Amino acid sequence: MSRFASHLADHTIVNPFPGLVRLEQTIGRPVTVRIGSNESVAEPTSPLVARFGPALAELARTYPDPYAQVLRARLAALAGVAPEEVLVDTGADSLILLALRLFCAPGDTVVTSAGTYPTFRYFAEGCGTRIEEVPYHEAQGLRRPDLAGLAERARARQARLVYLANPDNPTGWNASGDAIRTLVEALPEDCTLLLDEAYSDFCIETADRPLAGVLPGAFRLRTLSKAYALAGLRVGYAVAPAGWIDKADEIRPQFAVSSVAQAAAAAVLDEPTYSARLVSDTVQLRQTLERALSDRGLQILPSWTNFVAIRYDSAATAAARQQALWAAGVAVHRPPHPAMQDLLRVTAHPDALQTSILDGLCPTR
């Protein structure tokens, strides 16, 4: 059976607008006159020039490279893979939807953890799949995805796809590379692991880092939102076998990642110490926040991310703390899934260390 969704398996879809970079490759020379894309003329009185400068105004005026080839090369080097094993899209969320469209047809079964990142279920429902949820494993005050349970359910239900966020959102748990490899090997042959590694940049210890390179059987998602501070520009990328990337490119919106986003992403990637400093500062903030919350008697789940998950004695207690903070104009997140509503997720940020906020997270006595 084909790995791809049934309606895609034996059908090649041709992009009608492959962009100027592909045209330059086809004709073997640079394009110096752009009069084929129906772009607007440059206008020096554009409000963008006054507010953001001429460089951004020019990027906004012109269509981007649909395949983000310059950015792909940088991201491939970062991930230790070939450019043809990388695909760029508008954040990890869009890549989740792309993977569902790539591997699943309506009626196919997908498996996920009960209470993990809810956007997966949001898109899976929209794609018409059957969703199977596996409870988290609970032991010794820990809450983590049940990898063996996910594999068992995938085999029992002949699932086409298993979704796993690693590190997990909202618990913060990180499974080892060996555990991830074991999971992939335990899945049915035509079942794909959709591995969401949005927070993997914060796994800074050697033993915690994700497996290097392409992982056969897995479609891996990463983002520049967290460790590169580009959440507002929506830049994510997938790492997968080249044949999967080619097929995904056939069904992806051509001009999804803007010229501005591509240029900004290249700029932060070209500064080698920028992300490392940001990650280091964030991990230190998280550790400080963990200590401050623990000192107040709160139960903290282990985290390999840029947030802390606080576990309360009940969903009602968590809801009361959230509502009290809302009343003070403070936004903290309580996961929507019933299995996770006893948690509050707090971002590692200097504002979270304000005494009034720390006290507000504590149940009234």
**Token pair recorded at residue 257:** 């990642």
pLDDT score recorded for residue 18: 86
**Token pair recorded at residue 74:** 């940088």
| pLDDT for 357 beyond 80 | yes
C-alpha 24/C-alpha 46 separation (Å) is 29
Positive or negative: CA dihedral 333, 337, 343, 347: negative
Based on the domain organization, do 89 and 204 belong to the same domain? Answer: yes
Q: What is the CATH number of the domain that holds 354?
A: 3.90.1150.10
Model confidence over 116-148: pLDDT tens digits? 999 999 999 999 999 999 999 998 889 999 999
Based on the domain organization, do 280 and 264 belong to the same domain? Answer: no
Positive or negative: CA dihedral 138, 142, 145, 150: negative
Based on the domain organization, do 161 and 233 belong to the same domain? Answer: yes
Based on the domain organization, do 203 and 228 belong to the same domain? Answer: yes
Predicted confidence band of residue 34 (pLDDT cuts 50, 70, 90): confident
Domain closes at, from 269, 300, 335: 269
- C-beta of residue 358 within 8 angstroms of C-beta of residue 349: no
Residue-number span of the structural domain to which 286 is assigned: 274-360
- Asked whether residue 42 is assigned to any structural domain, the reply reads no
- Asked whether residue 106 is assigned to any structural domain, the reply reads yes
Query: Which element (helix H / strand E) includes 21?
Result: helix 20-27
Predicted confidence band of residue 1 (pLDDT cuts 50, 70, 90): low
Per the structure, the count of domains in the chain is 2
pLDDT score recorded for residue 23: 84
- C-beta of residue 241 within 8 angstroms of C-beta of residue 4: no
Averaged pLDDT for residues 148-162: 98
pLDDT score recorded for residue 338: 96
Q: Is 219 exposed, middle or buried (0-12, 13-18, 19+ CB in 10 A)?
A: buried
Based on the domain organization, do 94 and 237 belong to the same domain? Answer: yes
